[in-house]
Structure 1
Amino acid sequence: MRITGEPFGSVDGTDVRRWTLERGGVRVRLLTYGGIVQSVATPDRDGVPGETVLGFPDLGGYLKRPEPYFGALVGRYANRIAGGVFTLDGRTHRLARNGGPHSLHGGERGFDKRVWDAEEVEGGVRLSRVSPDGEEGFPGRLEVSATYTLDEDGALRIAYRALTDAPTVVALTNHAYWDLGGEHELRVTAGYFTPKDGTGIPTGEIAPVGGTRLDFRTLRPAGVGIDDNFVLDAGAPDAAELYSPVTGRVVTVETSEPGLQVYADAMFSGIALETQHFPDSPNRPEFPSTVLRPGERYASETVYRFGTR
């Protein structure tokens, strides 16, 4: 296992560092700016290492084009909150509307646009910061961390933790776009999804994928035009698998989260597999809760396993 850190520019006078983790033929590079996974290099079926995520070679690229959220640590709330407003314990909280009429991925300056503290830990690096009460409209002072480690077999593990001093909502994810080379085939372990309106907000229905374009229960070409939340099958060994017949690379996703947002757009060659709670859960009591209260601990974990066939 090899862990190194190096300067990677600065944001508003705050230094940014890039950390490199290497193990088992896998190399991961992440930034303290935005918790961004800048690079994941893995071997193809011929043993030749190559890049598997989209990103920019320097910090300037991320500052100039923040909207794709390339590789970013997204929060305080991943995905959309309808109208940028929610009510918790009788109090109404108004958030920045940065996704059309809605709050998207934590607001105008979410976790993806902050510089995080970093410390080396066994097998990787832990990023942490304190999100103050009222940041982007969210209540409560939130102590939050994301620990990136490489397992002995080279799997990338991201463990999220958070504590609050007041009732709040939390939903974190990583927004890497996986590009394994060539056209992709996708499998999602989900028999249901959450239908949405024209602005991306769930209607509240839980609908079967059978007979729809979102039936990825068996591996098939991914295509484009997907921006949907899948309800993951409870107890399944994994959440999704992405495969490139061209390079032979495979990424298998495991998660403790109940949902997976798949985003495949013709603008990008990669596919985002965002493990998370459902969109607009703070306004949908029928969805799994994203409420975090004092004395509780937010804990979420996602593992990306790499292989070939």
Structure 2
Amino acid sequence: MRVTRDAVTLPDGRQAERFVLDAGGIRVTLASLGATLLAIEAPDRAGTMANVILGDADPARYPAGGADAPDAYLGATCGRVANRIRDARFALDGVMHRLAANEGRHQLHGGPDGFHRRIWRATRLARGVRMRLVSGDGDQGYPGALSATATFALLDPHTLLIAYRARTDRPTHVNLVTHPYFNLAGDGEGAIDDHVLGIAAQRFLPIDAEALPTGAEVEVAATPFDYREPRQIDAARAYNHCLLIDGPPGRVRPAATLHDPVSGRTLHLATDQPGLHFYSGDWIDGGLATRPGRPRFGARSGLCLEAEGLPDAANLPHLRSTRLDPGGVYRSRTLLRFG
């Protein structure tokens, strides 16, 4: 098992670190900028390695690396609250908190200066890296000073653990999410429409025209959201929805499988989170470039499977809460196993 690190200067002059985790199976590249997964290289059925997430192993070329760059959140840690919050506000204990909006009047993935733009303080571990970030009271409008950690570790040659923890000194909301775009054929190798997807979910959250949950919970049976039996991704359908993973939240259990029949690569995702956000990548900005000399990313170049707390739960009290109180500990564990 090898864990290497080196320093990187970002286009805006900030100093970040890059880490490579290699246990002889998959090879994972990370950056302290945004606690970001830059690359996951996995072998195909012939043993040929390819990066199976959209991104760039050099964070200096990474879209989130500059203040004026587009926010695709490629592989980044999103927070303090990932996904959308309606009208960029929520009430907590009778007090209305107004957040920094960055998607029209709403907030997406923690705001314009979310956790994906921060330099996290990193510590090398025997099998990975742990990154720490302190978010002050009022940061992007959120109450309470939050101390967060993100741990990335190879449990075996083929399994990556992603674990988050957070504590607060005032009541607040927390939902930390890793945002990789998967393409098991390899980044820049075309659309994901041939991939076979399975999701262990009997219910999903419908959304409105602004991609915010309506508050309803609907059975997936007889809908385009029924992936209980793995099947080819519906090429005629744009997905940007949270599905409610079967089994009790708080316990790691199987959530999804993704398979590319051409390369033979398969991803098994397990998590302790209540939801899995399936985004089919239909709105990927065609201006996002992969490594020099490779094709540019475009619609459906990759898909997201984001283990998460439920979106806009701060405004939908009947959903499982994302609230964190002083003395409590926010925890999230997700396993990515490649075969």
Q: For this structure pair, what is the TM-score category when the shorter chain's length is used for normalisation?
A: over 0.9
Task: Provide the secondary structure at the position in 1 that maps to 2:206.
Answer: coil
The equivalent of 2:227 in structure 1 is: 216
Query: What TM-score, normalized by structure 1, do the two folds share?
Result: 0.96
The separation in 1 between residues aligned to 2:43 and 2:178, in whole angstroms, is: 22
The equivalent of 1:137 in structure 2 is: 141
Deviation, 1:3, is: 0.2
Kindly indicate whether the alpha-carbon contact (under 8 Å) linking 1:223 and 1:264 is maintained by their aligned counterparts in 2.
Answer: no
Deviation, 1:189, is: 0.3
The equivalent of 1:242 in structure 2 is: 258
Q: How does 1:50-199 map to 2 (within 5 A)?
A: 50-58=50-58, 59-62=60-63, 63=65, 65-181=69-185, 183-199=194-210
Deviation string 1:186-239 (CA, Å, 9 cap, x unpaired) is 100000001111111111111001111111111111135110000110158300
Which letter does structure 2 place at the counterpart of 1:61?
A: Y
| Corresponding residue to 1:278 among 296, 302, 310 | 310
The separation in 2 between residues aligned to 1:11 and 1:115, in whole angstroms, is: 13
Deviation, 1:57, is: 4.5
User: Which shows bigger deviation, 64-73 or 17-26?
Assistant: 64-73
Whether 1:44 aligns to 2:44 is yes
Task: Provide the secondary structure at the position in 2 that maps to 1:282.
Answer: coil
Change (3 A) 1:20 1:57: closer
The separation in 2 between residues aligned to 1:223 and 1:134, in whole angstroms, is: 42
User: Which shows bigger deviation, 228-237 or 72-81?
Assistant: 228-237
The separation in 1 between residues aligned to 2:72 and 2:46, in whole angstroms, is: 31
Query: What TM-score, normalized by structure 2, do the two folds share?
Result: 0.88
The separation in 1 between residues aligned to 2:239 and 2:10, in whole angstroms, is: 35
The equivalent of 2:320 in structure 1 is: 288
Kindly indicate whether the alpha-carbon contact (under 8 Å) linking 1:72 and 1:174 is maintained by their aligned counterparts in 2.
Answer: yes
Deviation, 1:24, is: 3.4
Whether 1:259 aligns to 2:272 is no
The equivalent of 2:246 in structure 1 is: 233
Kindly indicate whether the alpha-carbon contact (under 8 Å) linking 2:159 and 2:335 is maintained by their aligned counterparts in 1.
Answer: yes
Unaligned runs of 5+ in 2: 186-191, 283-298
The separation in 2 between residues aligned to 1:50 and 1:10, in whole angstroms, is: 25
RMSD: 1.4
Deviation string 1:160-202 (CA, Å, 9 cap, x unpaired) is 0001000000001100001101621110000000111111111
Q: How many residues align?
A: 307
Deviation string 1:38-61 (CA, Å, 9 cap, x unpaired) is 000011011111110000343233
Deviation, 1:265, is: 2.4
State the percentage of identical aligned residues. 41
Which letter does structure 2 place at the counterpart of 1:104?
A: L
Which letter does structure 2 place at the counterpart of 1:5?
A: R
Deviation, 1:12, is: 4.7
Kindly indicate whether the alpha-carbon contact (under 8 Å) linking 1:187 and 1:217 is maintained by their aligned counterparts in 2.
Answer: yes
Which letter does structure 2 place at the counterpart of 1:263?
A: Y
The separation in 2 between residues aligned to 1:260 and 1:66, in whole angstroms, is: 24
Task: Provide the secondary structure at the position in 1 that maps to 2:10.
Answer: strand
